[in-house]
Structure 1
Amino acid sequence: MIVVGTRDGLDGRRVVVTGASSGIGEAVARAAAAEGARVGVLARRADRLDALAGEIGGHAAAADVTDVAAVGDAVDRLAGALGGLDAVVAAAGTMHLGAVGETDPQRWREVFDVNVHGLLATARAALPHLGEGGSWVTISSMSGRRVPSAAGGVYAASKHAAHAVDETLRREAGSRGVRVTTVAPGFVATDLMAADVAEDDVAAFRERMHAQGLAPEHVAAAVVHVLALPPEVCVVEYALTSVAQLRGS
């Protein structure tokens, strides 16, 4: 008889979270630690990381995920501090809004550098540390399966790519028993968009996102659920949205 259930929380699991200085990444780090995981946090802002690590009893390593060498060194240091890795949650991300014909191409590069190149760099660093029963989770978006608006097209393109990266990793690492999951939320009430973008449509989008969005803790709960499932279970994609967004759509 097969008994279907979860692990005993995340007790003793060794988890690294990128993008952990704020938003979904910070919420995931806190939730994983609350479930008994030993957590390593990675992001650019060292002061915030150090404060978070102190609060949750974790380890911090500051790095920009778009810097392949730096993120590789940071992941290796965290794996060493934790005595290995059982799971990696790639939550680093950024967003810029604007139609293709009206947006500075540098914005395209910034979005793809973080959301795609940063994801690849993190995976390259982390996968050698993950073995049988290990977990890789990408925080993507429901925009990875659709294009919600012209202004959100470049961001959606980067998230479509993130879904493709996970499908690739599933083929690459799945044969070693590594579970690869894409968590795809709708609006989340964070400050994901770059602060230097202040157009009226961005301000309106921010207002809508915070009014209708999920709390980061809701996404973190989904991640904890995925990580806590028995090792023979792989959630391929976990999409979630708020009821408020459904009502407003």
Structure 2
Amino acid sequence: MSDRHSNIEGARMLVIGASSGIGHALARAARTRGARVALAARRVELLSGLAEELDGSAHELDVSDPRAIERVVDEVATTFGQLDAVVFTSAVVPFALIEETDVTTWLHAYAVNAVGASHALRAALPHLADDAVVLVASSHDVGRPRAGVAAYHASKAALDEILRSWRAEHPELAVIRVSVGPTDGTEILRGADRDLLADLYRAWAQEGQIPAKMSAVNDVANAMLSLIAMSRANPTVVSDIVHLAPRLSTGR
């Protein structure tokens, strides 16, 4: 018999940001653990094969577009009836020095990383089951910004404050903010300028901001799913803020 504190079998789950990284790993792990999954991301061509493999559905979604969020959430909710879990892992990480970060970049980072997550929760609200869980991935670097990613860090700080407001106004909801540390197997560096990255790595190393080891993406994904299971099994408690950081080897 499965432990109810790890069991998500039969859970109707929408994973936003499932085309790569943590979202992709989480969707796979969720299906392995018996959940029913609907996958959403901007790069729908990467979702189609995965959705077929997982016996789920693929939905093209740019989370900076509020109408698109509403359409996808309504489609998924119509298919499932209700939503037992919504997982938001979409993020944009523009690499640029702060004086070279233009207004368009700032606004897009906020639209995806902060407002997009909030609007996904807003759209899902009427469709959430009684024991539903909303899990949103944030960054462990909030409050400790690294050089070269100002728009990302600022938008994630805004996201954290938005989620605090959701918890303040809707204390009945299980909204979990997961602060994710450096994780292997993501596409966070996709499209970044390599010369700039080399300079930034030197700056991060000088400030002690590069960990000796990163978390494995599958471990992060399964830990997040277990948070959902625990929340559903213990409905009077919510893990409001959870930090997932790399566990460093002792060398023994």
Residue 41 of structure 1: CA displacement?
0.7
CA 1:211–1:79: 2 relative to 1, 3 Å: farther
Structure 2 unaligned runs (5+)? none
CA RMSD of aligned residues (A): 2.5
Q: What letter matches 2:105 in structure 1?
A: R
CA 1:188–1:8: 2 relative to 1, 3 Å: closer
Give secondary structure in 1 for the equivalent of 2:236.
Answer: coil
Give secondary structure in 2 for the equivalent of 1:132.
Answer: strand
Matched, 1:46 2:44: yes
Residues 84-163 of structure 1 aligned to structure 2 (within 5 Å): 84-144=82-142, 146-163=143-160
Aligned to 2:188: 192
CA 1:246–1:48: 2 relative to 1, 3 Å: farther
Alpha-carbon deviations, 1:20-65, whole Å to 9, x = none?
0111111111111111111111111122111111111112211111
Give secondary structure in 1 for the equivalent of 2:170.
Answer: helix
Give secondary structure in 1 for the equivalent of 2:95.
Answer: coil
TM-score scaled to structure 1, two decimals? 0.87
Q: What letter matches 1:198 in structure 2?
A: D
Count of aligned residue pairs for this structure pair: 239
CA 1:245–1:170: 2 relative to 1, 3 Å: farther
TM-score scaled to structure 2, two decimals? 0.86
> Are the counterparts in 2 of residues 94 and 194 from structure 1 also a CA contact under 8 Å?
no
Aligned to 2:171: 174
Match of 1:240 among 230, 241, 244: 244
> Are the counterparts in 1 of residues 115 and 159 from structure 2 also a CA contact under 8 Å?
no
In 1, Cα distance between the equivalents of 2:44 and 2:87?
18
CA 1:101–1:88: 2 relative to 1, 3 Å: same
Q: What letter matches 1:126 in structure 2?
A: A
CA 1:158–1:8: 2 relative to 1, 3 Å: closer
CA 1:42–1:174: 2 relative to 1, 3 Å: same
Give secondary structure in 2 for the equivalent of 1:140.
Answer: strand
Residue 95 of structure 1: CA displacement?
0.5
Which one is further off, 79-88 or 98-107?
Answer: 98-107
In 2, Cα distance between the equivalents of 1:173 and 1:36?
29
Structure 1 unaligned runs (5+)? none
> Are the counterparts in 2 of residues 96 and 155 from structure 1 also a CA contact under 8 Å?
yes
- Structure number having the greater strand percentage: 2
